[in-house]
Amino acid sequence: MAKRKALFPGETAKYRAARNRLLRKEITLRRALEKVAAQRRTLPLGGAVPEDYVFQSADGPVRLSELFDEGKDTLLVYNFMFGPQMPEPCPYCSSILDSVDGAAPHVAQRVNLAIVARSPIERVLTFARERGWRHLRLLSSAANSYNRDYHGENAAGDQLPMMNVFARRRARVHHAWATELFFAAADRGQDKRHVDLIWPVWNLLDMTPEGRGAAWGPKLRY
């Protein structure tokens, strides 16, 4: 990479040298992200979905196969941590979905997107109205085993923040990918972050000198 001169008012040679070293690492990171994304696209199909799960929506029952619009053969399903025994939803999931709600109309140009929670649909919709969500396709899995089957819930009934991707091929639906990084061993000092790429809050804070903050997390209300 060519040596770069000062780009911003008042910056020192020390800053520019350190920034250029970091820039080289950022370029390496971008290459790695693109390489991983390309490898993800070459994965063979996963297992066929064992049943055509029936969810509850604002408009009544809907099957998994019916979440695929004409001409769109990919479906992203995010598990929203809002179980029937939880007094309120997960604030982290809620923060993620605040952003996904705004992005949903753009995503819908290419693929299908749905948000699944274990709570009854009326409870999910009430929270969505309070939150101001307008674009998310919200579903309840209260009457099926989807959450357990696709790791949005553990054996104790605790809710987990999983993103699963499904692909439709010749009228059959297959699992294609999931955020399995959640189950992988974390490096020392790390938590089990696995959905950061869809979470603008964390990415914005990562650009700052303060960073994310060891003890900070989003809240449902401020």
CATH number of 89's domain: 3.40.30.10
117-137 in b/e form (b: 16+ CB < 10 A) is bbbebebbbebbeeeebeebb
pLDDT (average), residues 82-86: 97
Query: Distance between CA atoms of 88 and 79, rounded to whole angstroms?
Result: 15
Distance from C-alpha of 54 to C-alpha of 63, rounded to nearest angstrom: 4
Average pLDDT, integer, range 127-136: 98
DSSP 49: P
Whether 211 is in a domain gets the answer no
Range of the domain at 135: 54-180
Count how many domains the chain has. 1
Chain-wide mean pLDDT for the chain? 93
- What would the two tokens of residue 190 be? 């790390």
Q: What pLDDT sits at residue 206?
A: 87
- Per-residue pLDDT tens over the stretch 47-62: 999 999 999 999 999 9
pLDDT of residue 191: 65
Domain-embedded: residue 144: yes
Asked, for residue 136, whether it belongs to a domain, the answer is: yes
Order of strands, sheet of 172-178, starting from the edge strand that comes earlier in the sequence: 60-63, 54-57, 138-140, 112-117, 74-80, 163-169, 172-178
Is residue 145 domain-resident?
A: yes
Query: What are the tokens at 32?
Result: 């790695």
pLDDT band at 114; cut points 50, 70, 90: very high
Is the per-residue pLDDT at 74 higher than 70?
yes
Task: State percent of the chain over pLDDT 70.
Answer: 96
pLDDT of 164 strictly over 70: yes
pLDDT at 33: 92
Residue 202 located in a structural domain: no
Bridge-based pairing state of the strands 74-80 and 112-117: parallel
Each residue's pLDDT tens digit, 165-192:
999 999 899 999 999 888 878 778 776 6
| Distances in whole angstroms, Cα of residue 39 to Cα of each of 21, 43, 47, 165, 177 | 27, 7, 18, 15, 12
Q: Residue 14: inside a domain, yes or no?
A: no
Is residue 35 a contact partner of residue 46, using CB atoms and an 8 Å limit?
no
Residue 119 lies in a domain: yes
Q: Does residue 1 carry a pLDDT above 60?
A: no
Q: Counting beta carbons within 10 angstroms of the beta carbon of residue 146, is it exposed (0 to 12), middle (13 to 18) or buried (19 or more)? A: buried
Confidence of residue 2 (pLDDT cuts 50, 70, 90): low
For residue 96, is it within any domain? yes
What's the pLDDT score for residue 197? 83
CA of 16: how far to CAs of 30, 72, 96, 154, in Å? 20, 46, 34, 49
